[in-house]
């Protein structure tokens, strides 16, 4: 009898050994065991518990450092990239993308086979066999067909492959693992998996992917990769701030007196908020108050220099299921009701159009400084040079600007369509208190040109463009572009010369204007208006500023 008990115990032990040796998914897909809380409270739709058994016979498991990893792919090292469109607002979908990066000179063809690229040499030289893995040939041999080997067309948990169109061209098995659950997918060199985040735990989470490739009647592990994704209850957003003439859009430094465009970009790749009512509350920090709108774009102009704290709050009313109703008191009997009361009025009518308010926040520190606000070309003059004439035509451009004094002037000369550049020239600017300068540029013969002129300093960049008509210089002018010369003038005398050129159509020698009360204080605009009144037909008074005899400028 004792021998019988011993024999039965041995049978029970032998029966239990395979069960103890069977691996579970969390042992294969992750180095850390997920807590039971995660398994019980965060079920993902379509995913399975990682406590299920893993078919190690069909899908072998290799430990880290196993030398077989180096031989898992023919012709080089296979890389796997895993990305996601995280962060994701809770309730939306988050998509994970896995892409296989084959060794050099390898690619996947239309039939799912891995082939060597033509006219490409890898590190080991050209291969006489055009295939790295010819899975189509294995299928034709019966290894992957509809014969007796259907038991090999299964995932690690034993479930069969989905037999949709083109499934036989998919030779990679992807195992996704997160939050104590796994999702298995058959695919080619790139796959996408979308997961709804309604039941996901907020905060950063880890997604791990293990990739197997087909090898006749079994599968070979190729790579493991992981990435961190984030689920949040705040709307992911960013505000793009832009301004005309701002030189650096990323330093959050802008110019006084010019409107700044604030454009809110909400990160919602799954279009979860498409049916939501979204409102924006703007506070620019300059004492102008709070602005509320349903437009994601708004312009604002700061009128004083300084540092300001910009704050934005975004509210989205997301349609969603209504919460479970609270327990109601027992229905009163008619005898217990006061006279005139209707029992129906005591019951709450459920509203099936419920919504959840989600909020997003953005803060930035904005610095406002002075800069170049505007640039204008007020005069173009053909430079007359006595014989022998140079190879190129010279033109003078009188330029004014508003704002601070520039440090640099650049010109780009191109064809009349402003598309094909012929020359770019930059020069430092050295002027006085007034932004007034003359730029001389050379053109490669007669014709029409497009010229872009830019004035810049450390924080601003102002641009203007004009079409230039260059008169002919006679035949034989070579077609080439030479560098120009910058002439800077920092006094009011050049303005008098410009006006004289407008009147007499030729160059005149000029004398600096004597200081007089009123002219200097009014600035350039007042001086232009005063000069026009004296030089043009509206006034018959002789110009007192032109005192000297004609000469060359």
Kindly tell me if the per-residue pLDDT of 518 is higher than 60: no
In tens, the pLDDT along 329-377 reads: 555 554 444 444 443 333 333 456 788 999 999 999 999 999 999 999 9
Report the alpha-carbon distance of residue 103 to residue 133 in Å, rounded: 13
Q: Alpha-carbon distance 85 to 229, whole Å?
A: 8
Q: Which of the four pLDDT bands, split at 50, 70 and 90, describes residue 141?
A: low
Q: How far is CA 231 from the centre of its chain?
A: 20
Confidence at residue 412, expressed as pLDDT on a 0 to 100 scale: 94
What is the reported pTM? 0.71
| 433-470 per-position pLDDT tens digit | 788 999 999 888 888 999 999 999 999 999 999 999 88
Averaged pLDDT, 41-52 = 86
Residue 83 shares a structural domain with residue 198: yes
Q: How far is Cα 131 from Cα 237, in angstroms, rounded to an integer? A: 47
Tokens of 158: 């034993």
333 Cβ contact list (under 8 Å, min separation 6):
none
Q: Which of 232, 266, 293 is the last residue of a domain?
A: 232
String of DSSP letters for 39-92: HHH-PPTT-EETTSB--TTTS----TT-GGGGGSSTTS--EEEEEE---EETTS
In contact, 396 and 383? CB cutoff 8 Å: yes
Q: Return the minimum-mean-pLDDT range out of 28-37, 307-316, 319-328, 418-427.
A: 28-37
Domain-embedded: residue 493: no
Q: 221 and 117 in one domain?
A: yes
What does the pLDDT average to over 6-30? 59
Rounded CA separation 149/204 (Å): 42
Same domain, 278 and 162: no
Give the separation between CA 398 and CA 434, rounded to whole angstroms: 13
- Picking from 446, 470, 494, the residue at the C-terminal end of a domain is 470
Decide which of 470, 489, 508 is a domain's last residue. Answer: 470
Alpha-carbon distance of 396 to 498, in angstroms, equals 11
Q: Is residue 521 part of a domain?
A: no
Same structural domain, 296 and 405: no
Q: Is a pLDDT exceeding 80 seen at residue 532? A: no
d(CA 530, CA 517) in angstroms, rounded, equals: 13
CB 290 within 8 A of CB 283: yes
Instruction: Mark whether 304 and 272 lie in a shared domain.
Output: yes
Please state, in angstroms and rounded to a whole number, the distance separating the CA atoms of residues 116 and 123: 12
Same domain? For 82 and 124 the reply is yes
**Please, which residues have CB within 8 angstroms of residue 387's CB and are 6 or more apart in sequence?**
none
Both 292 and 157 in one domain: the answer is no
**Contact call for residues 503 and 482 (beta carbons, < 8 A):** no
Cα 418 from Cα 469, distance rounded (Å): 14
Judge if 65 and 96 occupy the same domain: yes
Considering the domain architecture, whether residues 183 and 274 belong to the same structural domain is answered as no
396 and 283 together in one domain:
no
pLDDT value of position 450: 93
* Residue 342, in any domain of the structure: no
Give residue 501's pLDDT. Answer: 43
Measured distance CA(157)–CA(180) in Å, rounded: 15
CATH of the domain at 365: 2.60.40.10
91-100, 341-350, 376-385: segment of lowest average pLDDT: 341-350
Same domain, yes or no: 382 and 451? yes
pLDDT above 90 (res 186): yes
Q: Is 495 part of any domain?
A: no
Q: Is 413 exposed, middle or buried (0-12, 13-18, 19+ CB in 10 A)?
A: buried
What is the overall mean pLDDT for the chain?
Answer: 77
> What does the pLDDT average to over 285-306?
96
Domain with 196 in it: 42-140+153-232
Q: Is residue 56 part of a domain?
A: yes
Burial 154-186 (b: 16+ CB within 10 A, else e): bbbbeeebeeeeeebbbbbbbbbbbbbbbbbbb
At 330 the pLDDT is 59
User: In terms of domains, do 80 and 119 share one?
Assistant: yes
- Does the residue 2 lie in any domain? no
Domain total of the chain: 3
In a domain, residue 164? The reply is: yes
Quick check: is 63 in a domain? Answer: yes
């Amino acid at each position: 009898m004792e021998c019988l008990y011993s024999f039965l115990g041995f049978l029970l032990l032998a029966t239990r050994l395979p069960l103890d040796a069977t691996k579970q998914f969390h042992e294969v897909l992750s180095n850390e065991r997920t807590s039971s809380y995660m398994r019980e409270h965060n079920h993902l739709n379509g995913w399975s518990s990682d406590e299920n058994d893993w078919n190690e016979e069909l899908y072998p498991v290799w430990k880290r450092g196993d030398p077989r990893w180096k031989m898992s792919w023919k012709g080089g090292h296979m890389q796997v990239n895993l990305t996601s469109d995280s962060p994701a607002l809770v309730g939306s979908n988050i998509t994970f993308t896995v892409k296989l990066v084959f060794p050099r000179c390898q690619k996947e063809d239309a039939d799912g086979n891995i082939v060597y690229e033509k006219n490409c040499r890898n590190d080991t030289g050209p291969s006489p066999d055009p295939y790295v893995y010819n899975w189509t040939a294995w299928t034709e041999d019966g290894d992957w067909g509809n014969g007796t080997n259907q038991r090999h067309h299964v995932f690690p948990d034993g479930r069969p492959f989905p037999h949709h169109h083109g499934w036989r061209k998919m030779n990679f098995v992807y195992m996704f693992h997160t939050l104590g659950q796994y999702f298995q997918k058959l695919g080619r060199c790139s796959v996408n998996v979308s997961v709804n985040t309604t039941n996901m735990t907020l905060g950063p989470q880890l997604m791990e992917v293990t990739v197997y490739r087909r090898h006749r009647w079994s599968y070979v592990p190729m790579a493991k990769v992981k990435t961190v994704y984030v689920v949040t209850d705040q709307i992911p957003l960013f505000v793009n701030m832009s301004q005309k003439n701002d030189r650096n859009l990323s330093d959050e430094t802008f110019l006084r007196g010019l409107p700044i465009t604030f454009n809110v970009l909400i990160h919602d790749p799954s279009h979860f908020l498409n049916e939501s009512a979204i409102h924006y509350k703007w506070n620019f920090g300059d004492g102008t108050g709070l602005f509320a709108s349903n437009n994601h774009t708004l312009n604002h102009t700061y009128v004083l220099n300084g540092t300001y704290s910009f704050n934005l709050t975004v509210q989205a009313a997301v349609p969603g299921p209504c919460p479970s109703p609270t327990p109601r008191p027992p229905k009163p009997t008619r005898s217990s009701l006061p006279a005139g009361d209707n029992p129906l009025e005591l019951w709450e009518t459920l509203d099936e159009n419920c919504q959840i308010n989600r909020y997003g926040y953005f803060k930035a520190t904005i610095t406002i400084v002075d800069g170049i606000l505007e640039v204008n070309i007020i005069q173009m003059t053909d430079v007359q040079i006595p014989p022998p004439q140079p190879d190129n035509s010279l033109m003078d451009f009188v330029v004014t600007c508003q704002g601070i004094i520039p440090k640099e002037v650049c010109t780009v000369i191109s064809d009349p369509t402003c598309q094909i550049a012929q020359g770019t020239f930059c020069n430092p600017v050295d002027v006085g208190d007034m932004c007034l300068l003359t730029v001389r540029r050379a053109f490669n013969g007669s014709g029409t040109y497009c010229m872009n002129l830019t004035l810049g300093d450390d924080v601003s960049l102002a641009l203007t463009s004009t079409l230039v008509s260059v008169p002919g210089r006679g035949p034989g002018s070579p077609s080439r572009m030479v560098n120009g010369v910058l002439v800077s003038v920092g006094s009011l005398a050049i303005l008098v010369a410009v006006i004289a050129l407008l009147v007499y159509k030729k160059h005149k020698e000029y004398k600096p204007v004597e200081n007089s009360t009123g002219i200097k204080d009014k600035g350039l605009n007042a001086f232009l208006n005063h000069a026009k009144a004296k030089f043009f037909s509206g006034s018959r008074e002789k110009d007192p500023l032109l005192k000297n005899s004609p000469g060359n400028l």
